[in-house]
Amino acid sequence: MPFPLHLFNPQNFARLTPRRVSLVRFVRAIDDVAVVDASDPDDRGFDLDPTFANAHGPAFGISGPDGATTAQQCRIRVIRDRLEPAVPLFPTIADPALVTQVSPAPGAVLNPSFPGDDTLIVRAARAPATDTSTTLSLHFGSATGPVVGECTIRVLPIIPITVKGHLVTINGGAPSSNRATFDALLLRANIILAAAGIKLTLDPVIQPENISGLRTANTISLLNSTAHFDSELSQVMRLRPLSSALNVYIVGNIDQISSGGNNHNVVAGVGISSVRAASRPPSGTYVGGQTGFVTRDPDDLDLFGWVFAHELGHVLTLEHYNNKQVPNVQSNNWSQRNIMYNHVNVFTGNPVNSIGYGIHGAGALGLPVNGRFRSGAFIGIKQFTRIFQSNQSFTMRTAANNGTFLIV
Ligand SMILES: [Zn+2]
């Protein structure tokens, strides 16, 4: 129903607190685990940022075309907070040579009933030489009418990273994973990483490794207080790494002895960048830290696809969200939606219940698990000085170009 809107110039009313009224919002087009054509918008804050997000609204990233392959489509959903479904909204893209408006067609009205729930579809029209943004605007009445909402679309030319897979037999115990496991994990990780323009490709030869003399068969035991430089982990990560690739080792189990007691498979993976690895060189009997990551046999491919993308974040120098570590983990709408949130599961009652990652019925895709919901896969793209590494996409891409995924 229409409502009256009174406009004041706040400069003429010193005691009036200005309020910003948002008529529409842009949100993720789906509400469960990540899919490749539904980028998760960075809707933190409203600061104008000329480098990364120059629209009054959220920002989201899409990959440029992959060689001869057309760039994937990306859906973005419009929520009419203060507009009726009958209000005609016309999307426009400031630089149509950079981003193609697939649906609705350029100049056409956004139809609330098709393709459903006011969902827009866009696609990168070309791969720019460097990361380049354009603005998606929603106009009232016609394509040249007043703008009632806008967001930034950032087109990211693809950075390829080759993954070398290793399957590690420990004290005679072999993991149950195989080549198909690597394929499934890379598929799921690439769905998440598309929003940062990073694409993993698996080296065709999966390398079997053998090591003995560790504490438990088929298991890495994290014995030190600093897991990144654990003796057993470092020994495994130095098994025949390929110098031109990101080396990923799958083991049967990871036990965390260092935290007291035997925490069996609480740790899903450990990722280490070349910067961190180089900080702990060989010393005495210690073989030295090494770049790459270790994960264990996945018991849920969606969950471990998330782990794959999260550990790749660490390999590309990302810290946990806002660099907050246990027991000071930052838990709010944005951190729990984020790929660098400290935990893959969050408990019920947290904001994640209503932000799009915990809607599944019991059992579907393994959610919820033991009363917990999954954290999200959003990759930050905006720049805020008050949030550490707020522009995660830029941080990852810079690190990838600097080769922090390569061995030391
Ligand atoms: Zn982590």
Tally the residues of the chain: 408
Distance in angstroms (rounded) separating the CA atoms of residues 251 and 237 = 11
Q: State whether 260 and 167 are in the same domain.
A: yes
pTM of the full predicted structure? 0.90
Question: What is the 311 CA–ligand 1 centroid distance (Å)?
Answer: 6
Q: What is the CATH number of the domain that holds 215?
A: 3.40.390
The CATH number assigned to the domain holding 48 equals 2.60.40
Domain containing residue 76: 21-156
Closest alpha carbon to 366 in 168, 158, 188? 188
In 238-296, which residue ranges form alpha helices assigned H by DSSP?
Answer: 274-278
Q: Is the same domain home to 117 and 242?
A: no
Q: Which of 156, 172, 200 is the last residue of a domain?
A: 156
Q: Does 3 fall in a domain?
A: no
Q: What pLDDT is stored for residue 7 in this prediction? A: 66
Q: How many domains does the chain have?
A: 2
Residues of the chain with pLDDT under 70: 1-8, 10, 68, 114-116, 225, 259-260, 346-373
Q: Are residues 150 and 254 in the same domain?
A: no
What is the distance in A from the centroid of ligand 1 to the CA of 343? 7
Distance 310 CA to ligand 1 centre (A): 6
Same domain, 125 and 235: no
In single-letter form, the type of residue at position 186 comes to L
Q: Do the domain assignments include residue 376?
A: no
CA of 342 to the centre of ligand 1 (A): 5
Residue 66 lies in a domain: yes
Query: Considering the domain boundaries, does residue 128 fall inside one?
Result: yes
Distance CA 402, CA 408 (A): 13
Q: How far apart are CA 339 and CA 375, in angstroms?
A: 8
25, 125: one domain = yes
pLDDT of residue 369: 47
pLDDT tens, 40-70? 899 888 777 777 778 888 999 999 988 767 7
What integer pLDDT is reported at residue 366 of this predicted model? 43
CA of 397 to the centre of ligand 1 (A): 18
pLDDT in tens, 247-267: 999 999 999 887 667 788 888
pLDDT at 357: 63
- Flag whether 350 is in a domain: no
Q: Which pLDDT score is estimated for 50?
A: 73
Average pLDDT, the chain: 87
- Single out the residue of 194, 176, 157, 182 nearest to residue 73, CA to CA: 194
- Euclidean distance between CA atoms 268 and 206, whole angstroms: 20
